[in-house]
Structure 1
């Protein structure tokens, strides 16, 4: 065997049992050490999700306990059937705001009808996600621009903050009001602000910020809620109109059933697709961000299946739509989690906490919850990435702003879809305009390798034009390239050489462009030549019969070979009066005042 090479190890197929039950692949690694680490990480996660779950449920327009239910059942299913060792699922701000914006025009938030629709929305979103996973569409998420996510989350932050002003100010904003309507109502009713509720909200917010800065590993949100509750008791806020959350049901998630009537399913379809789409983007992006530190491989399709099953099962246990959580997944990894058991332990600990401390929530002020949600909303705004996008790319800035303002002023699923479609349109526009550059031998290179004419002061050969195409030559780019090739006749070059090593993909439309250009030039007494096409492109042209139509003798392996052959058919009378003389072969033709064979040492033009 040749030195330096080793025979690649055969790829072992994944056993069928592991493909159906992914947890079988990591359950064997569990031991006393991993159990201890996962227990500690799970306990930390349970205390963090307690205030978050209540906050997210309020954002979604659901009774507070539904946020805790969504953090008990779905994380267990996602941990067992997903692929990430550290991803923690449950309620999130982004999903919660979509649930609220989708359902609030259809039913009163918090009502029985609203809950029924939320469960149906969750079930349908899970079906979409499961279908995407089974169809192995995990790679589709890679085509969603990061600017869409940044713009959506920034817009969602403003919506979330606006929705909580009614708790912080004590102003009864109508449920389901739009962003502009809510602010118009707030400005009009500013004189009705309850000062006590405002003080509790601000104190809670300041406390959360202080703990985030000084003690980021402490359960700052939980401490902030406790501080807001104590301040409210000290001020006797209840006597001054400060509203309380009320006692949560101290029991485990009850069984439930989505609404399977055809009208309801049809009505929930668009919103469910938006929930499914954003949930998958969120979960997969979080899982992949953690792999940078953990070096673990993530299976996107399996993650789709895990998220889909978690929502389908969760909808029968009073859980609304869930996804991967940025905060809890990061804390889970930082707390030393070793296996997905940490996520399962977190759900179990939360179930115990819900049963034991549910009566204490009766003293929790709504303004304190509003202060915590303000803090969560502010953290959603990704200022560093927004600044980078605004500075670096106009097209990405357009996507960011379109998604951001769409989130504020239109239906939230419309904002997501429009952002995604705009990203795809920009991507397709870029790929449909491959770079076509005129080339000449570089004067600064001793080997006279070809370089872009825009980077030199040389002129082109009057008889041979050399173009390099960089990009895919497919149906979307065919018209663009065809127009450029026709425009290359303006200087009346008799011969055209296309350097094609930058053509990484070609289809029938692209092949027809080359074939038709060859025929068009032939009718005009001109020629088209090709060189340095990659193997796949040559194979496609040959199998489709395009290469035969173009002329197999017009295909060359290198620029040197192509220029040498083409030079032999150039009009030497033109060469003798030419002052460009950019190729090595040009020196063999006497120019003005030169004898035959006399040459100047200008190097080689190949």
Structure 2
């Protein structure tokens, strides 16, 4: 009752149906998520090119709002690696300027408004145009970029004017200045990565990232490594996310618009993919448009509290569900717990070594490359649409100077390849033949070399303007192959005027060459279309047989018509042609108790 009444504010429904026994499970899940989100959000802030405190702010505000309004009970929103990289790419030209944070929060607001707009006008199905292969390709490319971008921090190699350099340029600089590596920084970073990997092998529930940051802090304090060139995070304000009004600027909004759309799209793809993935086991119904609105409200609202754009997190959402979370309250509690930690324990964060955060990011970047899924896509076909779209997006993500362009490239390519595959008209060519036992079968042939008495043409699926040219070409090749063509229409789902025009040309061409076209299995919804487009007058009402409830009735009537056309009613002293004998056998079979179905559907 509550969930239906408060569809657009699902939190009210959750509270109305909440039970006491839910709280302990939600609290345990929230604590587990908070342990993971604290080091992750700080690391993602560094990927975005901003102070780690803004990652914590985002993990508080975005998580609470998205959990309150989302359709999923388990998705955890906030900073993510892919979105952080897109943020950094979009704001690259503003890095080092005084107004960079103003631009950051303005862009976050724009992303939120776009996502809300997508949800309000119900564009949930539009996400289907962003193929799974494009997301895999972008994520893999983003993982490579993130990893390369953190090498300078891991090795503690300072790069002058790095804000205006691409990741590839930074990587080249690092490779040519390896002699400047700080071995203490490298040792701490490697220690963090080793701890995370070991913890994962011991028990996946262990907070490896948190442990991997806490232990190196001990070495920092004991050996004063900060005085030996190891850079620390620095002071983080011990306060809740402060409210700050966004400074709206039309010129800035125009400059940020392209990047904002890319972030909005990828953010929604991530969120929906996570929600649907968890829903396969939780059995919860997911409303894509409601999730759009939730993510939009989270970003738009968080922009006033000094947060950058976020989305659903694969890692944190999975941990939340696996830790026993029952309702959306778990996600909201995780945001509250991070806020409490920020207020009371932020002063200890100043000792966190930057190389350790880089180590956390490098492990995350490695895991972003879904090697299993990449192998699966390649195995299906190296030169198939999915594989080409994946590799093109991956390479574009790594090499293109603007990540939003890489996203658009992948989407455009996947749509183009899809259209390329759908401009083919599925068409089966069937030739009736008689076996020794007297039964008649239909043999499917790829191409007709010799002329046949009767040819059955079976178009399938959707016949629309995109496939009309291919349909016309295939029909033209059949014109001189028979005198009688039976167009079996029962497998056609939809047909538009352009495709119907191709059929009309075929009908007239066959008639001019002395042949005839017979329609069988015509659905009732196509009848008015045939009449209004003059197909009925072109072919003649006697040659159109509607789809009927009785099995084979329409085809049997079409065959009787074919017998008439071929003048099968002959005198006793004249031998019947093979085609007429075939037709009589087929008609008897279709109306009799036994019908043979070999290779294809029977007439």
Counterpart of 2:405 (choices 404, 414, 427) is: 414
Change (3 A) 1:214 1:298: same
1:591 corresponding residue in structure 2: none
Counterpart of 2:33 (choices 35, 41, 45) is: 45
1:130 corresponding residue in structure 2: 116
- Bigger shift: 397-406 or 446-455? 446-455
Residue 240 of structure 1 and its aligned partner are, at CA, apart by: 1.7
Residue 579 of structure 1 and its aligned partner are, at CA, apart by: 6.9
Change (3 A) 1:603 1:278: closer
Counterpart of 1:118 (choices 104, 111, 125) is: 104
- Whether the 8 Å CA contact 2:479–2:509 is kept in 1: the answer is no
Residue 423 of structure 1 and its aligned partner are, at CA, apart by: 1.1
1:595 corresponding residue in structure 2: none
- Whether the 8 Å CA contact 1:243–1:365 is kept in 2: the answer is yes
Q: 1:175-203 CA deviation, whole Å, 9 max, x = no partner?
A: 24223312221221122111111111111
1:585 corresponding residue in structure 2: 584
- Whether the 8 Å CA contact 2:3–2:13 is kept in 1: the answer is no
Q: 1:129-169 CA deviation, whole Å, 9 max, x = no partner?
A: 11110001111112321100100000000110111111111
Change (3 A) 1:432 1:74: same
Change (3 A) 1:176 1:552: farther
Give yes or no for the alignment of 1:477 onto 2:467: yes
Count of aligned positions: 577
Give yes or no for the alignment of 1:332 onto 2:317: no
SS in 2 for 1:175: helix
Q: 1:238-257 CA deviation, whole Å, 9 max, x = no partner?
A: 22211111121110001123
- Bigger shift: 62-71 or 418-427? 418-427
Residue 571 of structure 1 and its aligned partner are, at CA, apart by: 6.3
- Whether the 8 Å CA contact 1:18–1:25 is kept in 2: the answer is yes
Residue 40 of structure 1 and its aligned partner are, at CA, apart by: 1.4
Give yes or no for the alignment of 1:195 onto 2:173: no
Change (3 A) 1:316 1:466: same
Counterpart of 1:561 (choices 557, 563, 566) is: 557
2:590 corresponding residue in structure 1: none
Q: Distance in 2 between matches of 1:602 and 1:73?
A: 68
CA RMSD of aligned residues (A): 2.8
Residue 531 of structure 1 and its aligned partner are, at CA, apart by: 1.9
SS in 2 for 1:568: helix
Q: Distance in 2 between matches of 1:498 and 1:352?
A: 72
Change (3 A) 1:509 1:25: farther
Counterpart of 2:350 (choices 353, 356, 362) is: 362
Residue 235 of structure 1 and its aligned partner are, at CA, apart by: 4.4
Give yes or no for the alignment of 1:508 onto 2:497: yes
Q: 1:219-261 CA deviation, whole Å, 9 max, x = no partner?
A: 1110011122223444432222111111211100011233311
Change (3 A) 1:317 1:485: same
Change (3 A) 1:587 1:561: closer
1:521 corresponding residue in structure 2: 510
Give yes or no for the alignment of 1:318 onto 2:306: yes
Counterpart of 1:385 (choices 373, 380, 385) is: 373
Q: 1:2-47 CA deviation, whole Å, 9 max, x = no partner?
A: xxxxxxxxxx9986x5234232332222111112211111111111
Q: Distance in 2 between matches of 1:378 and 1:443?
A: 63
Give yes or no for the alignment of 1:453 onto 2:445: yes
SS in 2 for 1:501: coil
- Whether the 8 Å CA contact 2:438–2:585 is kept in 1: the answer is no
Structure 2 unmatched runs, 5+: 548-553, 588-593
1:423 corresponding residue in structure 2: 414
Question: Where in structure 2 are the equivalents of 1:15-34 lying within 5 Å?
Answer: 18-34=6-22
Give yes or no for the alignment of 1:488 onto 2:478: yes
Residue 472 of structure 1 and its aligned partner are, at CA, apart by: 1.0
Give yes or no for the alignment of 1:246 onto 2:242: no
SS in 1 for 2:519: strand
- Whether the 8 Å CA contact 2:385–2:418 is kept in 1: the answer is no
- Whether the 8 Å CA contact 1:229–1:368 is kept in 2: the answer is no
Structure 1 unmatched runs, 5+: 1-11, 589-600
Change (3 A) 1:134 1:193: same
Give yes or no for the alignment of 1:403 onto 2:389: no
- Bigger shift: 360-369 or 19-28? 19-28
- Whether the 8 Å CA contact 1:584–1:602 is kept in 2: the answer is no
- Bigger shift: 434-443 or 118-127? 434-443
Scaled by the length of structure 1, what TM-score is found?
0.89
2:458 corresponding residue in structure 1: 468
Question: Where in structure 2 are the equivalents of 1:271-282 lying within 5 Å?
Answer: 271-282=259-270
Change (3 A) 1:89 1:582: farther
Q: 1:545-585 CA deviation, whole Å, 9 max, x = no partner?
A: 54444433222233333223213212669x97977889343
Change (3 A) 1:494 1:370: same
2:170 corresponding residue in structure 1: 182
Q: Distance in 2 between matches of 1:412 and 1:578?
A: 70
Q: Distance in 1 between matches of 2:426 and 2:581?
A: 23
